[in-house]
């Protein structure tokens, strides 16, 4: 990176720290620290909700996925506006009027302590690990691409986030999220403009759409019905609906945001704001990936984008085979580039395009084969599968983006990671203090005491996240296991909340048993069927509502109903 890049990067960190620390005086008690005394405006909360969901992987992983598979991932996001309506009409009024600190606290009001404790504990388990991954994933990519030390990257990102979150609480988190989200919007626009600017001057926007269209890269809607396929309209609308409802309605890292609003109206407006902006934002992020795909028709892409994987193969006995693939890749890319330019010429002059289409198609097939063969070599050399998808966009940034812009976009990637991490830290801290410490150990301590414990809890979770990130490489299977528990848990948790809101006769025992049965059902479905993971939340939610209702009915019949 150039001096200008470093200057922009440093300015970002200095600005975020200053803004975060300036919120310190608003956190004089636990209500200020975790709920900003319910004083925040809807626009700030809305941007924070978006920033919390958009992690660094949204930028580097989603663009890479679009480079490989096109726009079809957008279908998972399509039900989100509808989810926001359900949240505004059903979830938010219950949470807001109950004046709870955590979503799980509400479950004790409605059911019992054991249901609250189990759900909060499962949240802490899955989100605690996830906070580490939020740090680890971008740090690995940036260390490979920029040559930065992975440990230093994790520690700098973690410590800066921790500093303003511990001191400023939720106010600091939300106001820094606002800046970070605005930076992300700016970063997306700049990335798209730079990519267009890097294309040959004769290539128009219409040509870009055309080249992407040859490869079906703009396909955003797939109407086929196949529950095994994640990326169809129906999987997106049905599975994505329950996934988003579980995340925005039951995950404390999101619920905490809209509980900080000045009023119920402001709380709802923050979600409606998301309803209108989320899908377009995701569309433009995916479009960056497709534009990269088009761009690499004119510039020679790396055979493997992850330079660490390339080094591993080159230092292995497979070096010769890899070099042969590189030579063939080089030659085929030249063929495809020429065919693409000729195709555009023919298109503009009204000449025949079929021949050039065919040349491009056959080159593409062969190029894809070569990429698969090279990934096979990576697998043999490293003993681990290639995860090249996360390196496509960062690799482009370093090679092609001008000074100043690079610093800005790297700062945006950091902003995306930090805006997710800070929200998770305050959510983990609030669940720890409110659902466990205040509930079981210190029920009537002073506000000053709770504030001190809240800061210590945030500090603990921040250090925990940094530790998980530093050892994530060695914790591979453990993290995977925790993620799996998380995926079994979310839909079932949603079921518990639906039971609470919609089934009047539901009891605490029904909810608790329903949660366990729901998780077991999702586990069984994941092991015995090959339906897309997107449907797991639907399965969990339905099983919990049915099982919980049946137990409630049984109790009523036995005269023990509420």
Partner 1 sequence: MGRPVEESGLTVQDETPAEEGGERIGVFPGWGWLYAAVVVYTVLLILSLYLFTLLADHRLQ
Which residues make up the interface to partner 1 (CB under 8 A)? 74, 78-79, 81-82, 84-85, 88-89, 93, 96-100, 105, 108-109, 113, 209-210, 212-216, 218-221, 223, 233, 263-265, 268-269, 272, 275-276, 279, 353-354, 357-358, 439, 443
Q: Which residue has tokens 């059911």?
A: 111
In the bound state with partner 1, the residue whose beta carbon lies nearer, of 255 and 269, is: 269
Q: How far is the CB of 358 from partner 1 (least distance, A)?
A: 8
Q: How far is the CB of 178 from partner 1 (least distance, A)?
A: 21
CB-CB contact of 238 with 541 (8 Å): no
CA distance 337 to 310: 24
Q: How far is the CB of 109 from partner 1 (least distance, A)?
A: 5
Q: How far is the CB of 238 from partner 1 (least distance, A)?
A: 14
CB-CB contact of 322 with 401 (8 Å): no
Q: How far is the CB of 230 from partner 1 (least distance, A)?
A: 17
CA distance 327 to 329: 5
In the bound state with partner 1, the residue whose beta carbon lies nearer, of 100 and 397, is: 100
In the bound state with partner 1, the residue whose beta carbon lies nearer, of 219 and 554, is: 219
Structure tokens that stand for 136 in this block: 């680890």
CB-CB contact of 285 with 534 (8 Å): no
In the bound state with partner 1, the residue whose beta carbon lies nearer, of 24 and 361, is: 361
Backbone dihedral angles phi then psi of residue 131, each to the nearest 5 degrees:
-60, -35
In the bound state with partner 1, the residue whose beta carbon lies nearer, of 219 and 366, is: 219
CA distance 51 to 42: 14
Residues 6+ apart with CB under 8 A from 446: none
Alpha helices in 401-475 (DSSP H): 405-430, 447-470
Q: How far is the CB of 198 from partner 1 (least distance, A)?
A: 21
In the bound state with partner 1, the residue whose beta carbon lies nearer, of 262 and 553, is: 262
In the bound state with partner 1, the residue whose beta carbon lies nearer, of 12 and 91, is: 91
H/E stretch holding 518: helix 508-528
Nearest to 93 by CA among 258, 221, 290, 253: 258
Percentage helix, strand, coil for the chain under 3-state DSSP, each rounded to 5: 80, 0, 20
Q: How far is the CB of 213 from partner 1 (least distance, A)?
A: 3
């Amino acid at each position: 990176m150039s001096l200008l890049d470093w200057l922009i990067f440093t300015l970002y960190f200095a600005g975020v720290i200053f803004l975060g620390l300036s919120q310190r005086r608003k956190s004089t008690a636990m209500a200020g620290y975790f709920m900003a005394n319910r004083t925040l405006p809807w626009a700030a909360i809305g941007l924070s909700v978006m920033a919390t969901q958009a992690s660094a992987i949204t930028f580097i992983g989603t663009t890479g996925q679009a480079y490989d598979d096109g726009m079809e991932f957008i279908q998972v996001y399509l039900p989100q506006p509808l989810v926001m309506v359900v949240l505004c009409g059903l979830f938010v009024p219950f949470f807001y009027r109950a004046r709870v600190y955590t979503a799980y606290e509400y479950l004790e009001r409605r059911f019992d302590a054991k249901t609250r404790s189990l759900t909060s504990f499962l949240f802490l388990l899955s989100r605690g690990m996830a906070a580490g991954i939020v740090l680890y994933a971008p740090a690995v990519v940036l260390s490979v691409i920029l040559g930065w030390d992975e440990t230093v990257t994790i520690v700098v990102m973690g410590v800066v986030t921790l500093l303003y979150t511990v001191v400023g609480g939720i106010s600091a988190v939300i106001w820094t999220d606002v800046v970070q989200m605005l930076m992300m919007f700016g970063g997306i626009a700049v990335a798209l403009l730079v990519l267009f600017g890097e294309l040959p001057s004769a290539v128009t926007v219409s040509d870009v759409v055309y080249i992407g269209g040859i490869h079906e890269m703009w396909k955003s809607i797939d109407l086929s019905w196949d529950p095994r396929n994640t990326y169809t309209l129906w999987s997106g609308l049905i599975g994505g609906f329950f996934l988003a409802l579980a995340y925005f309605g039951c995950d404390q890292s999101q619920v905490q945001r809209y509980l900080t609003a000045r009023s119920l109206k402001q709380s709802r407006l923050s979600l409606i704001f998301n309803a209108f902006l989320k899908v377009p934002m995701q569309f433009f992020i995916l479009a960056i990936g497709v534009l990269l795909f088009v761009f690499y028709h004119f510039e020679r892409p790396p055979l493997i984008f992850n330079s660490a994987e390339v080094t591993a193969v080159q230092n292995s006995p497979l070096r010769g085979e890899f070099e042969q693939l590189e030579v063939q890749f080089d030659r085929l890319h030249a063929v495809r580039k020429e065919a693409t330019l000729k195709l555009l010429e023919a298109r503009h002059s009204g000449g025949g395009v079929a021949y050039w289409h065919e040349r491009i198609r056959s080159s593409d097939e062969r190029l894809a084969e070569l990429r698969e063969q090279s990934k096979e070599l990576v697998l043999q050399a490293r003993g681990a599968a290639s995860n090249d998808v996360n390196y496509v966009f960062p690799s482009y940034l370093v090679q092609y983006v001008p000074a100043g812009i690079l610093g800005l976009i790297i700062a945006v990637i950091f902003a995306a990671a930090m805006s997710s991490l800070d929200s998770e830290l305050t959510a983990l801290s609030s669940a720890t203090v409110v659902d466990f410490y205040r509930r079981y150990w210190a029920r009537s301590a002073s506000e000053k005491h709770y504030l001190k414990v809240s800061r210590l809890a945030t500090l603990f979770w921040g250090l925990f996240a940094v530790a998980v990130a530093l050892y994530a490489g060695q914790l591979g299977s453990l993290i995977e296991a925790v993620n799996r528990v998380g995926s079994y848990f979310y839909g079932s948790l949603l079921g518990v909340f639906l039971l609470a809101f919609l089934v009047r006769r539901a009891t605490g025992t029904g909810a608790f048993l329903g949660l366990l049965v729901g998780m077991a059902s999702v586990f069984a479905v994941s092991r015995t069927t090959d339906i897309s993971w997107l449907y797991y939340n639907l399965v969990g939610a339905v099983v919990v509502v049915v099982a919980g209702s049946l137990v409630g009915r049984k109790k009523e019949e036995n005269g023990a109903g509420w």
